[in-house]
Amino acid sequence: NESACRFFEQALYHPGAKKWLRYLTDRHISEVTIKTFRIGYAPDSYEKLQAHLKKEGFPIEDCAKLGLVQKKEHGSGYFDKFRHRIIFPFQNISGKILGFGGRKLRENQPAKYLNSPESPIYKKGELLYGLHQAIDAIRAKDFVVLVEGYFDLLRLVENQFRNAVASSGTALTPTQARLIRRYTKNVRIAYDGDSAGIKAAIRNGFILEKEGLNVTITALPEGEDPDSFVLEQGIKPFEKLLESGQSPLDFRIEAFFAETPNPSYQAKEQFLTETLQELSDLKNALRLGHYIHRLAEAFQINEQALVDQMRKLRRFRKKNEPLPAEQTREAPQDSGYAFTGMHRAEAGIIGLLLNGQPEVRNFIMQSVSFDLFENEPLIRIYDQIMMELEEYGQIDAGKFLLRFQEDEPMKRLLSEIALQEYKDEMKFARDCIFQLKKWQLEKKSRELQELIRQESASSDSVLHYSQELIAVRRQLNELTKTHQE
């Protein structure tokens, strides 16, 4: 990776790449910042990087493990994975290069951003872009600004605001939250001002709080991100916005009333239930008490009622952590992972994506999303497969296995899945998708029935949850009817 990083850096300053260096400087990114973050350029070539790596003496198989090159689908040989992209190296806290992110430079390139696949040394949920460069500033100021994108971070650095890191557009993990906590307990989130940015800020704010961090969220104007805001208005107005940040709960309440100025009783109840579920993992009892008080105040509801509901939700979740008996049959343990019936359907989807006919793959890609998956190993595999299919439009199961050859249990799991055979692929795909959607609706139905039982003393609550239950059962009937046709 270090050798590849030097190659990308040198390529950016090659006489033939002046246009791409200018792409950065035209965005007001200085050469000092470019060199500090070791930003580079991947040439528009299928073989220049691998030729460089071979010359440096690196085995091509090791380069493939790191995602620098990829085996050709047809014939022998490899090709460079990153082509015609601005390259952002991912570094660990000591500065070691673990992977790369590439920003496309041509409109017809398939993905705006292309990242290294997970490898023995690169785990995307364990790094934060820019943390290596920011550690001293974070310690000195005792807070960090969390932004979404590379250019948001670089814009702040250009304005001498060095205690910032980027989540690179992904949901934070508890591991990343704990990584931040090594250097400060104070986080200020400044995400994009659109709906997706607001939702991501709230979600990540609660993740950070659950790990014991103090969090505020800054509301940027709609359509703005830190890059555009600071570029147009300067760093001082941005600093003022940071100072006016709100807690994740206050930010969520304000966003709710902004989106729903005159909410119905049902909308309020749904918001309160979802928020209490989010807060139920909070370990800080004082903060939890303050948040319940704020909810009671904002929604003009009895505080004790919220406390009682929180207790019910905690009991309900604890009671329902084990899966229902009909879903707990385990698959053979050869792979090291146990599957419920639901996860067998997930494995079937993975198998068809790896080996199915193109029309079956296309059907699955149009019908399946992440929220239908629950098994973590299979989610990881699904993520990697979708990246491959979205970029190249096809996949080779044998070559795909090589990505996981350092993870023996995962490799065995994938081997078992890849060896499955199906008499009628399209029928099997429809059956798997039906089962996944059916289980999701049945799970929701059980949750609503339990809430109706717990809230039997409140006619309003029973009415609200009963209406939801009727809607879920209707969806379930329609799903079953459609599948049987």
Give the right CATH number for 131-249 from 3.30.300.30, 3.40.50.150, 3.30.70.2390, 3.40.1360.10: 3.40.1360.10
pLDDT tens track for 351-378: 888 888 888 888 888 888 766 777 777 8
pLDDT of residue 145: 97
CB 432 within 8 A of CB 349: yes
- Tell me the average pLDDT across 438-467: 77
Highest mean pLDDT among 101-105, 192-196, 336-340: 101-105
The mean of the pLDDT values for the chain is 84
pLDDT of residue 323: 34
Using CA atoms, how far apart are residues 138 and 131, in angstroms rounded to an integer? 9
Mind giving me the DSSP string for 77-120? -EEES--SEEEEEEE-TT--EEEEEEEE-STTSS-SEEEPPP-S
Residue 145: its H or E element:
strand 144-147
pLDDT of residue 334: 42
How confident is residue 417, by pLDDT bands cut at 50, 70 and 90?
Answer: confident
Using CA atoms, how far apart are residues 411 and 405, in angstroms rounded to an integer? 6
Hey, what are 33's tokens? 């910042």
pLDDT tens track for 16-44: 899 999 999 999 999 999 999 999 999 99
Is the pLDDT at 150 greater than 90? The verdict is: yes
pTM value is: 0.65
CB 156 within 8 A of CB 147: yes
pLDDT of residue 325: 32
Q: State the alpha helices, DSSP H only, in 97-234.
A: 131-141, 150-158, 174-181, 195-210, 226-233
Please give the residue that has the higher pLDDT: either 481 or 458. 481
- Which class is 2-122 in CATH? alpha beta
**Residue 76: how many CA atoms within 13 Å on its side-chain side?**
2
Listed residue (64, 71, 67, 69) closest to 90, CA to CA: 67
pLDDT of residue 318: 54
Sequence-distant (≥ 6) Cβ neighbours of residue 170 within 8 angstroms: 124, 125
CB 352 within 8 A of CB 422: yes
Sequence-distant (≥ 6) Cβ neighbours of residue 135 within 8 angstroms: 93, 183
- Pairing status of strand 113-115 against strand 85-91: unpaired
Enumerate the domain spans of the chain.
2-122, 131-249, 260-319, 323-485
pLDDT tens track for 215-251: 999 989 888 999 999 999 999 999 999 999 999 999 9
Give the right CATH number for 323-485 from 1.10.10.10, 3.10.520.10, 1.10.860.10, 2.60.40.10: 1.10.860.10
Cβ count near 292 (within 10 Å)? 21
